[in-house]
Structure 1
Amino acid sequence: MLKTILLSSFSLVATALVLFLIVIGREKSWEMIAGSPDRGPYDFTTATRSPSANDALACSEGLCQNPDFLITAFDDTPESVIERLSQRLLSSDKLARRVDDRNNPAKARFVTYSPTMRFPDMIHLEARALTDGRTGVMAYARAQLGKSDMGKNRARLEALFAQN
């Protein structure tokens, strides 16, 4: 009897969630449940990594500690690098949206979503002039929901920087 009640309750909750996602929309539903995926800029000098396996960090040599992979420095200005990376990301990921106010042209922030369930992820990009005249880049991507992103954020960053 208790098993039947629990199963019925679970089915009712699952059905309500599916209806909620359909009626409200997947992206808006997750925002209503978990808040805005845009939690503001990521501070590469003081912020810590996610305690869960749902993020990825990539940097040019010497710009951050323990990156998942290194990014080759660029020959352009920080502003040009961020603009080119932003265009590359937006053209390769139709679900990505730039959300920063563009006040600092050496930084950019994006929200993107998984294709099916529209789970939100954040992507932070920052470019800095290096002492050798080149431009180094720092990139951080993190899932808003869940404890694991199954490597999706790292793959997203690797794809973004694969064309360098």
Structure 2
Amino acid sequence: MTKKAVTTGLVGFGLGYALWRAYAAGMDRAWRGFFGSPDLGPVDFAALARRPTPNDALACPPGLCPGAKSDIDAPVYPVPAASLRAVIAQAAASEPNTVLIGSTKTQDRFLVRTRLMRFPDTVVTQVFEQGKGASTLALYSRSQIGRSDFGVNLRRLERWLERIDALVEGGQASSER
């Protein structure tokens, strides 16, 4: 390979990356301009009412979300709440186009954007102590744009829960934390 070919390849790659970043920033601004802030805010899981449209998904333990039908019964993990919260953050960080956008004493909110069109979804997570070093969680993923999400939010929660299970089983969440 010649020096000129390598230089041309690197310049082409750099230009392509710059164009993609400009496109992504433009899409993010466009969605914000049309639909407002992509952060859909915190959730009160005890009073949660699901949307009438099929563009959200809920993982909640039985009894913790009494007004909302859960898509997935969240398990109880053999780790303290603080450790489980750290594992959830680690699982979220492993997902592409996912950033922490809000955090309170009890909840974390993540903004997830789809790869191509950059549609924004908000995922709210909360951990609940279950006593004796055990805890459980509630996850609510909802789309800002559109009437249907074609199952994207549910598949996301399933992936996150699989990752959380693997991290807890793999010892990533220890009770000494």
TM-score, normalised relative to structure 2 = 0.73
The runs of 5 or more residues in structure 1 that have no matched partner are 1-20
Give the 3 Å change call, closer, same or farther, for CA 103–57 of structure 1 in structure 2: closer
Paired AA for residue 57 in structure 1? L
The 5 Å alignment of 1:1-164 reads: 22=23, 25-65=26-66, 66-91=69-94, 93-100=95-102, 102-104=103-105, 106-131=106-131, 133-163=133-163, 164=165
Tell me the distance in 2 between the aligned counterparts of 1:23 and 1:130: 42
Spell out, residue by residue over 1:2-43, the C-alpha distance to the aligned partner (whole angstroms, 9 max, x if none).
Answer: xxxxxxxxxxxxxxxxxxx95961112101110001122111
Structure-2 residue corresponding to 1:6: none
Alignment length (residue pairs): 141
Q: Residue by residue, what CA displacement relative to the aligned partner does 1:66-101 show, whole Å, maximum 9, x if unpaired?
A: 20011211112212111111111111x22011011x
Contact 1:63 1:136 in 2 (8 A): no
TM-score by length of 1: 0.79
Could you tell me how far 1:127 is from its partner in structure 2?
Answer: 0.5
Flag as ranges the 4+ runs of structure 1 deviating above 2 A.
Answer: 21-24
Aligned residue in 2 for 1:3: none
Gaps of 5+ in 2: 1-21, 166-177
Hey, what does 1:7 align to over in structure 2?
Answer: none
* Paired-residue identity, %: 31
Instruction: Read off the aligned partner of 1:80 and give its amino acid letter.
Output: S
Aligned residue number for residue 168 of structure 2:
none
Looking at structure 2, the residues matched to 159 and 128 of structure 1 have their Cα atoms a distance apart, in angstroms, of 20
